[in-house]
Structure 1
Amino acid sequence: MAWGSYYRGDGVARPIALPPPPPWREFPRRPLGLAFRPPPGLPEAVNAALTLRRPLLLTGPPGSGKSTVIESVARELKLGPVLRWHITSRSTLTEALYRYDVLGRIHEQQLTQARDARRASETNRTGGVQNTAADDIDDIAPFLRLGPLGTALVPAPQPRALLIDEIDKSDLDLPGDLLDVLERGEYEIAELARYSSPVVAVRLWDSQQTHPIQAGRLRCTEFPFIVMTSNDERDFPPAFLRRCLRFAMPEPTVELLRDIVGAHLGMHVPQNAAVEELLSRFLARLHAGESLAIDQLLNAVFILTGDDAPQGAQRDDLLNILLHELTHA
């Protein structure tokens, strides 16, 4: 079947058999760290951050592989599943440490009071003895859950891996709010600090497992490996930068691009004219200052170099679609 013969726009209903997807779009998704190829200097920056127990701040344009670094490190060092905190302008430090469903707890208390009232009414009618000991228990644990940063700081025999993605999109105060937690490696859950029970088992962010928290305070034993990414859309205060190690993702070379494409496709990328043209055109546009992502190059190589790849005007049209500059609509 020729490429592009699935949807034809003729209104005729027909069954289709789609081709296998690209390896990076198979579901469940395979770990991206399998195909990551670090640029020169990055391993040294990672090892320094691991040794010094400092966050690693990665800067570079979108699509340069910043968020994939931590998957590669976590897989190679067996740090477990990566915790993720995706930053928006509304992100706060508290939500990264823990989530408290106060409305859910109030609703549960109201339901419990209504149930107890019905039982009391039935007991009065029947002349029985009411036992409300179990109903009087107000358990806060079901309404608390540690956030991604809070889970990363849970005491453990080895560090957890935490991605703080696109921190430059945060509110201006968030980097400053992070300073104390990143420096001390501990935090307090205010709702538990004044709770009647001294120890409460709270769920972790990425599982149903719980961790006992005493007197509302949690202290890490192994500082997590934290990668923060930034698209260079803002500057950070010196006090914040002092507590990080920084690495700028370099512009790729043709050799590195070929290696990346081959790793994602799971095969050796032949140095034929079609592949070389795509690599050279992509790199030339990057050097010209255009905003393009590695994902776009992968898409173009996958579609435009196959056995049934489109040709002529159709190929040119697809190339414009696949390698469309990111900063233009």
Structure 2
Amino acid sequence: MTGQSAAGAPHDPEAEPEAWWVFRGPSDLPAPPPWRRFPSEAGTAATRAPYLLERNEISVINAALHLHRPLLVTGRPGAGKSSLAHAVAEELGLGDVLRWSVNSRSTLQDALYRYDAVGRLREASLRREREASHGSVRRPRAPRATTAGDIGQYLRLGPLGSALAAGRPRVLLVDELDKADIDLPNDLLVVLEEGEFEIPELARLPEHQQEVPVLLSGSRERVTIHRGMVRCTHFPVVVMTSNGERDFPPAFLRRCVRLDLPEPTGERLRKIIEHNLGARAVAAAEDLIEAFQQRAQTQTLATDQLLAAVHLRISGADLTRDELLGAVLHRLDEPMAP
């Protein structure tokens, strides 16, 4: 099979070891691209390339921060909408991003909190069975009172609930909000406008059990909920993304600051490649950039598809140009063949 070198010229497969063909094995797995590195990988640091923004885009983000309004980011798939939330969190030192990935079945309850009532009842039943098996129950006794600490073990705040309950500013990513049910955007805005919500399971507890520690989303950190009310003390940085699959109500749009990420120009694509893969990668990518721009005129493509193609080329992919484009630069608006 004839492939191409990083410079785009064919290379002789007999002159170089076929190290790229990992699947033919046995072989060690290759190092991941920079944007696919995770902290759980041994010896691998989770790093993110600098996020590219123009001055006018930065000004919109700053407007949202000053107004304490949600930032609604629109643009085609792969334009970097979700990555923007991570860039804001890193730039402002606000820790890990709280992420809520929305789909057609998502409800506001999913984002606020989850209560495992079934698990709690099962644990109570098992506890009674253990007491009975040890002979500790000789006569009927009153039901064991539920403690605040007990119910807190079966309740965990969701991403939105954690963003509001945290005692410090957090970044909340509401990803692909346009996939939600038609009523969800307005329901979400009500909570963000009021900055609070009630947890009925805690509000019904007796007066002496009104201080309940609950877990935050994605961590072992706990916050204490008083009288079942979660109240915001620091408004979170809310980044909501949309691929433009539907329109939002005017009342929703009025309460958001909008940022539309434009179609990337050739110059912007080169900057994105340089920031993610280095300056040398740009020289190896000119024909791929040209092919990407030509196809993007009539097809839905994502910028990270171009990055993937360039990464494969500079890593020594033993593929022709057409094979490389066919492997990763497939159109996103075409249904899969049955």
Same-fold call, TM cutoff 0.5: yes
SS of corresponding position for 2:279: coil
Residue 122 to residue 81, structure 1, CA distance change in 2 (3 Å): closer
Residue matched to 1:168: 178
In structure 1, stretches of 5+ residues that fail to align are 9-13, 125-129
Amino acid at match of 2:269: L
CA-atom RMSD, angstroms?
A: 2.3
What do residues 11-30 of structure 1 show as CA deviations (whole Å, max 9, x unaligned)?
Answer: xxx52234433222233375
Q: Aligned residues: percent identity?
A: 49
Residue 142 to residue 301, structure 1, CA distance change in 2 (3 Å): same
Whether the 8 Å CA contact 1:161–1:226 is kept in 2: the answer is: yes
Whether the 8 Å CA contact 1:74–1:80 is kept in 2: the answer is: yes
Alpha-carbon separation, structure 1, partners of 2:258 and 2:123: 47
In structure 2, stretches of 5+ residues that fail to align are 1-16
Alpha-carbon separation, structure 2, partners of 1:276 and 1:104: 57
Residue correspondence of structure 1 range 204-283 to structure 2 within 5 A: 204-265=216-277, 267-269=278-280, 271-272=282-283, 274-283=284-293
Alpha-carbon separation, structure 1, partners of 2:23 and 2:46: 31
Residue matched to 2:165: 154
Whether the 8 Å CA contact 1:202–1:213 is kept in 2: the answer is: yes
Residue matched to 1:310: 318
Residue 92 to residue 32, structure 1, CA distance change in 2 (3 Å): farther
Alpha-carbon separation, structure 2, partners of 1:241 and 1:173: 14
How many residues were matched structurally?
310
Question: Which among 195, 198, 206 is matched to residue 188 of structure 1?
Answer: 198
SS of corresponding position for 1:35: coil
How much does 1:173 deviate? 1.2
Amino acid at match of 1:171: D
Whether the 8 Å CA contact 1:37–1:260 is kept in 2: the answer is: yes
Whether the 8 Å CA contact 2:195–2:235 is kept in 1: the answer is: yes
What do residues 139-184 of structure 1 show as CA deviations (whole Å, max 9, x unaligned)?
Answer: 211110000000000152x410000000001111111211221101
How much does 1:38 deviate? 1.8
Amino acid at match of 1:210: R
Alpha-carbon separation, structure 2, partners of 1:7 and 1:161: 39
How much does 1:315 deviate? 3.2
TM-score after normalising by structure 1: 0.87
Residue 205 to residue 229, structure 1, CA distance change in 2 (3 Å): same
Residue 123 to residue 214, structure 1, CA distance change in 2 (3 Å): closer
How much does 1:188 deviate? 0.6
Whether the 8 Å CA contact 1:153–1:220 is kept in 2: the answer is: yes
SS of corresponding position for 1:221: coil
Residue 279 to residue 48, structure 1, CA distance change in 2 (3 Å): same
Question: Which among 55, 68, 86 is matched to residue 53 of structure 1?
Answer: 68
Amino acid at match of 1:188: E
Question: Which among 4, 18, 21 is matched to residue 2 of structure 1?
Answer: 18
Residue matched to 2:6: none
What do residues 213-242 of structure 1 show as CA deviations (whole Å, max 9, x unaligned)?
Answer: 110001111110000000000011111111
SS of corresponding position for 1:140: helix
Residue 304 to residue 155, structure 1, CA distance change in 2 (3 Å): closer
Alpha-carbon separation, structure 1, partners of 2:37 and 2:94: 24
Residue correspondence of structure 1 range 6-85 to structure 2 within 5 A: 6-8=22-24, 15-28=26-39, 33-85=48-100
What do residues 248-271 of structure 1 show as CA deviations (whole Å, max 9, x unaligned)?
Answer: 110111121111112112x21455
Whether the 8 Å CA contact 2:186–2:252 is kept in 1: the answer is: yes
Amino acid at match of 2:22: Y
Residue 134 to residue 280, structure 1, CA distance change in 2 (3 Å): same
